[in-house]
Amino acid sequence: MLVRRCLRRLARLLGEEFADRPPVGIEIRVDARQAVRAFRRAERRTRRLLPWRRRIRLALRLYRGQAMVEFALILPVFAVLLFGGLYASITLWQASSLSSAVHAGARAGAWASGDCNVAQDVARRNHGPLNESDIDLDCQLDDSGDLVLAGTYPVAIPIIGWSDRARVTAVEPISKASP
């Protein structure tokens, strides 16, 4: 099949007409240079006639192995960046939730005339997505009459092996008026 197609193409390029098969007894005598030129011309013609999608597919097929190697080299770096960013955003969310809870507890404790139990209860109830048992709260009244509520919560970015405790301190002046 391939030989017939090549013979037809060669015959078309050389100006000879063949039917489905060449007639018996006719030999095609072409020197090597003419054949090479004819095939190059045919290649140029078919290159012009190919649809652009097919050309792209053929071009990409040549570089398929290269793309796989490049993908294998880039994938670990991309995964670390992607999951590191995800864990970093979760860590920031936890720190923000802790900050919100500690500030709410400090405000409530200040309105309750400096009652540390009220401040800690409100902070524990307003923890949001945080695990309540992991929140450490420390409440004290300072010399200037302010309620100081400090909270810590463990945060981590395991993909890079980093862990620490988020620390938030809220200072509220004790109010004499009721809410």
69-102 per-position pLDDT tens digit: 888 999 999 999 999 899 989 999 999 999 999 9
Give the model's pLDDT for residue 177: 44
Q: 24 lies in a domain?
A: yes
pLDDT in tens, 99-123: 999 999 999 998 888 889 999 999 9
Q: Are residues 95 and 22 in the same domain?
A: no
Which pLDDT value is given to residue 46? 63
Residue 140 lies in a domain: yes
34 lies in the same domain as 97: no
Residue 142 forms part of a structural domain:
yes
pLDDT of residue 38: 74
Map tokens 């294998």 to a residue: 72
Give the model's confidence band at 5: pLDDT under 50 very low, under 70 low, under 90 confident, else very high.
low
Is residue 83 included in any domain, yes or no? no
Residue 77 counted as domain residue: no
Q: What local confidence, expressed as pLDDT, does residue 103 receive?
A: 92
What are the phi and psi torsion angles at 41 (to 5°)? -60, -45
Whether 57 is covered by a domain: the verdict is no
Closest by CA to 137, choosing from 163, 106, 112, 110, is: 106
Residues with Cβ within 8 Å of 102's Cβ and at least 6 positions away in sequence, in order, are: 123, 137, 149, 150, 151, 168, 169, 170
pLDDT at 49 over 80: no
Angstrom distance (rounded) from CA 110 to CA 126: 16
For 11, the domain range is 2-49
Q: How many domains does the chain have?
A: 2
pLDDT attached to residue 100:
93
pLDDT in tens, 125-171: 888 888 888 889 999 988 888 899 999 999 888 877 888 998 998 98
The pLDDT assigned to 139 comes to 92
Residue 116 lies in a domain: yes
**Same domain (yes/no): 159, 100:** yes
- Is residue 42 domain-shared with residue 95, that is, in the same domain? no
Where residue 50 falls among pLDDT bands split at 50, 70, 90? low
The answer to whether residues 44 and 109 belong to one domain is: no
Tell me, yes or no, whether 59 lies in a domain: no
* Most confident segment among 32-41, 57-66, 93-102: 93-102
